[in-house]
Structure 1
Amino acid sequence: MTIKLGLILPTSTPDPARPVLGDVGAAARAAEAAGVESVWSTDHLIASAPMLDSTVVLATAAAVTSRVKIGYGVMLLALRPVAWAAKQVSSLQHVSGDRVLLGVGTGNPAHGDVGWRAAGTTYKDRGRRTDEGLLVLRDLIAGRPARVAEDFEAAIAPGATVPPILVAGDGEIAIERAARFGDGWVSIGLSLADVPARLKLLEELADRYERPRPSVSIVAPPDPAQAAAYGEAGVERLILAPSGAGWERDYEQAAELQARIS
C-alpha cells in the first residue's frame, strides 16, 4: 500500500513554552508544492498553548491552494452545537471544492477542562455528546433533516458532500466509535509493532456494526523514515506535526520524505 503524507499546519503546540503560530497561507502553499496529500489544523477553544480556530485556519489554507486536502486534526465535536459544526463543515466543503477530511475526537486531557467550561459544557460529558453528534452529523452536512434535540428537527442549507469522517483516539471506546461511525481511525503515535493488533481490533468491531473496516491514519509517528513500512502494514496516512517554530525546516524534510515514498 502506498502511504499518504499529511502535515499539521503551524498553528499550535501542546507545549506552552514553545508556541507555534506560523504563516498558515505560506505553509499550505509549501505543503501543496511538496506534493503531500493533506494539511491539518488542530482544534480547541482554550488549550494549554495558543491555538488558532480550526475552521478559519482550514478556510485560509483552502483559499491559497487548489489540490491539497484540508483536514480537521481533529474537531472537538462536543464543544459545539452539532448543527453549527455541520454548518462549518458544509461551508468549508463548498469553498474548498470538496477537499475536507473531517477528523473528530473528544480531546486531550493535557489541555484540562477550561475550554469545555467556557463553552458551557463539561469535559466529563464529551464522549456522550460526541456519540450523539456523530449520529446526526452526516445528515446535517448533507442538508437532510436531522434530530438536533429531543423534540426538534432541523436542516442546513446548502447541504454539501459529506467528507470522510475520521474518528480519533487510542482507547478502546474511541476505536469502537471509529468502527461504528467512522470512515477512518486516527491514532496518536501508534508504533509499527502495534499496527497488526489495532487493525485486527478495528476489523472485529467494524464487523459487529456490519461496516467496512475504517482506514488508519497516524499522527507524528516516532520515526517518519519508517513510512514505507507503515504503508506495507496497512496504514493509509501519516500526519506529521511541526517540531517547533521553524516549520519551514519540517516542511522541507516532509518534501524529501514524500519524494522517497512516491
Structure 2
Amino acid sequence: MKVGVHLPAFGVDPAAGTAEHARHAEDVGLESVWVGDHLIPNRPYLDSTLALATAAAVTERVRLGFGVMIVALRPVAWVAKQVASLQHLSGGRVLLGVGSGGPVHGDAAWRAVGVPYRERGARTDAALEALPALIAGRPAKVDGEEVVLSPGATVPPVLVGGGAATLRRAARFGDEWYAAFSGPAEIAAGLGRLRELAEEYGRPVPRLTVGVSVGLGDLPAARIDAQVRGLTDYGMSEDEARGSLIVGGPERASERFAELAEAGAHRIIAMPFPEDRMRQTELVAETAALLG
C-alpha cells in the first residue's frame, strides 16, 4: 500500500510553507505529496503547478501529485508544457491527476477564463485525448492545428478523478481512477463497473487511488463537525460525510486504510483537516507503517 499526503493550501499552516511540508513528508517516509487545484476558491490557494515545482526542488524521492488538475480551465498546450517541464525538473516524479471540476469550484473561475461551465466535460475529454502526445513531444492536434512541444518528457501516470459518473472517462483515458471521499462499498462497486468499461475500450483496468479526509489524534467534536459540513459542499449527505472521515489514532486509521486496500485501493492519499499539519503528516506515516 502506497500512502501520500496533501500539502496544505496557502494560509492553512502559517508556521511552515510548501517546501517545509514536502521535505517533512519525504523525511517520514511517505510515498507522495499532493496539491489541489483551484482558481477562485473560498480561501487563499497557491497555483498547483508552482506548488509542486517548489516541492520538487527540495525533495529527491517523494512523488508529486496533482489531486486533481482542472485541465478545462487551461489551454491544453500549456498544461502539457507545464507537466513536461515538471517531469524534467523533478526527475520524472509526476502523478497527473485530472478532473473536470464540479460545483464546488463555483462559476466565477469558469467565467474568469472564458470557458462555459457546461463544456467542462467535453473539454476535459479533448485534453486527455491530446495530452499524452503533447507531453511526449509528438505531433498532436489542438483545435485543428498540429502542435509539437519540446522538450518532450515521459508521460506521467494519468489518474482520472471523480465518482461513479466519471468511470467511463477513467476507463477510456486513465491509468488509475482517483476516487475521493469514497468508502469500501462504493469503490468496490465502481471497480466492478470500471472493469466492464475497460474491456469495452480494450484497455487495461485502471488501478485505484483513494483520497480520504483524515483528522488523527484527539480532536474536539466541534472540529470534526466543521469538516463534515465542509464535505457536504462536495454533494455528500451529512451521514455520508461523517462516515467517510478517518479519525482516531494510527491503529484505528490503519484498520480503515486496510479496508480500502481490501476493496481494491493500491494508494491512499490522506487529506488532513486539522491545523497541526506537520503532526498530522507524522501520524499518517505511523498509520502507513502499521500497514506494512
Shorter-chain TM band: over 0.9
SS at match of 1:125: helix
Contact 1:180–1:209, Cα closer than 8 Å, also in 2? yes
2:279 matches 1:249: yes
State the Cα distance separating 1:232 from its structure 2 match.
2.4
Structure 2 contact 7–18 (Cα < 8 Å) conserved: yes
Q: For residues 233 and 48 of structure 1, what CA distance do their matches in structure 2 show?
A: 34
Question: Runs in 1 of length 4+ with deviation above 4 angstroms?
Answer: 18-22
Higher relative contact order (CA 8 A, sep 6+): 1
After alignment, is 202-211 or 248-257 more displaced?
A: 248-257
Q: In 1, Cα distance between the equivalents of 2:268 and 2:185?
A: 15
Give 1:176 deviation, angstroms. Answer: 0.6
8 Å Cα contact 2:137-2:153 kept in structure 1: yes
Q: Percent identity?
A: 50
Q: Distance in 2 between matches of 1:261 and 1:62?
A: 27
Contact in 2 for aligned 1:78/1:129 (Cα 8 Å): yes
Match for residue 76 of structure 1?
70
Pairing 1:165–2:158 present: yes
Structure 1, unaligned runs of 5 or more:
13-17
Matches within 5 A, 1:1-262: 3-11=1-9, 19=12, 22-150=16-144, 152-172=145-165, 174-220=166-212, 222-223=245-246, 224-225=253-254, 226-262=256-292
C-alpha distance in 2, partners of 1:132/1:66? 33
| Structure 1 residue 229 displacement after superposition | 2.4
CA distance in 2, matches of 1:132, 1:195: 26
Aligned-residue Cα RMSD (Å) equals: 1.4
The amino acid that maps onto 1:208 is E
Partner amino acid, structure 2, of 1:156? L
Instruction: Give 5+ residue unaligned stretches, structure 2.
Output: 213-243, 247-252
Letter in structure 2 aligned against 1:95: L
TM-score, normalised to structure 2, is 0.83
Q: Could you tell me how far apart the structure 1 residues matched to 2:164 and 2:263 are?
A: 20
Moved more, 89-98 or 28-37: 28-37
Alpha-carbon displacement from aligned partner over 1:118-150 (angstroms, at most 9, x marks no partner):
112122111010001111100000000100112
Task: Give the length in aligned residue pairs.
Answer: 253
Q: Give the structure-1-normalised TM-score.
A: 0.93
Kept after mapping to 1: 8 A contact 2:99/2:162? yes
Residue deviations 1:20-77, cap 9 Å, x none? 5651111101111111111001012111221100000000001111000000010000
Kept after mapping to 2: 8 A contact 1:34/1:254: no
**Partners of 2:275 and 2:116 in 1: CA distance:** 32
1:241 is paired with a residue whose SS is strand
